[in-house]
Amino acid sequence: MRPMRLAVLTAVLALGAAACGGTTKSSVTSAPAEPPASSAAAASADPNAPIKPGLKLAFLPKQINNPYMTIVAKAGEEAAAEFQGEAKEVGPSDASASSQISYINTLTQQGHDAILISANDPNAVCGPLNQAREKGIKIVSYDSDAAPECRDLFINQARSEEIGRSQIQLLAEMIGHKGEIAILSATANATNQNTWIEFMKDELTKPEYKDMELVKVAYGDDDDQKSFTETQGLLQAYPDLKGIISPTTVGVAAAARYISGSKYKGEVVLTGLGTPNQMRQFVKDGTVEKFALWNPKDLGYLASYAAAALVSGQITGAEGETFQAGRLGERTVGANGEIILGPPFTFEASNIDDFDF
């Protein structure tokens, strides 16, 4: 990434568009679990405490074969090295609701200082996460939140409302605010996806979108082939479809691959959340005009520093606490333990070659 662009992006971000595979506050409908007795909420913060040496952090993504999640975890590992800690990535190969549970249990047994998780389901992971907390392990969710009662912090790439509304605004601009649209999501239980989609639906109720209609929300399960097939199905089922939003890195790349080789190229507008490297060819061949994302490297980097600050006692997760996040500078804990990375950034032909991730 060119230095000037990095500075601009860091300032703009200072998501938290493909990946996402990628998240966001959850709307938890089940009864809240009792927080563990060892919850940091009762502790007091010491902002001057040094980061403890030799911290062991573990990133648990939705799935390990997701390129977006890999970028996040690698950046987290790099950050850990800066404060003389260690971080690793472990996780399932599928993004089902219960697939992360066995990994949480194993990491708990191994005695890690912090588990950083992008939750496939906000509630399915709650029990094992609270068992980890009872043993003194700090829990930091990132990208896709766990239920707030079973984690200490949530690193949100951007405000959920900002992500959801901006996706509709971006697509509407490209289709002239008219026509049928569809959404290609990740899994049906993904916290971030569902929160963004609710804001998309709400944005569509505004008068300026009266000539746009959301006809379908499809789910590709963050699986490349299923997302490819779901895109094909959408286009065949809705012959008047004007645009697709895929707010997941796996989904948007798969959709672009299908459209690029079909009769729909140049006819159906595709946007969503993706990384520049995976979307570059589709921007250059005219399949995709614009898409969005935050910098996943910054997301993983911030998550590592937040976990280190939490474990070291610099913060407890209470609103208003601050800590230093390396090259990203001072960060503040918001309501419900949420730390925001920054607003989405739009990639297009004029700037995509300025970024390499």
Question: pLDDT tens, 241-290?
Answer: 999 999 999 999 999 999 999 999 999 999 999 999 999 999 999 999 99
Alpha helices in the chain (DSSP H): 3-13, 67-82, 101-110, 126-134, 160-175, 191-203, 224-237, 249-260, 276-284, 296-312
Mean pLDDT in the chain?
89
Using alpha carbons, select from 275, 304, 306, 315 the residue that is nearest to residue 291.
275
Stated pTM of the model: 0.78
Backbone angles phi, psi at 116, to 5 degrees: -110, 120
Question: pLDDT tens, 69-99?
Answer: 999 999 999 999 999 999 999 999 988 889 9
Using alpha carbons, select from 334, 95, 328 the residue that is nearest to residue 221.
95
What's the rounded Cα separation, in Å, for the pair 185 and 182?
10
Instruction: Say what the pLDDT of residue 97 is.
Output: 85
**Secondary structure of residue 331 in the 3-state scheme:** strand
What mean pLDDT is predicted for residues 314-338? 97
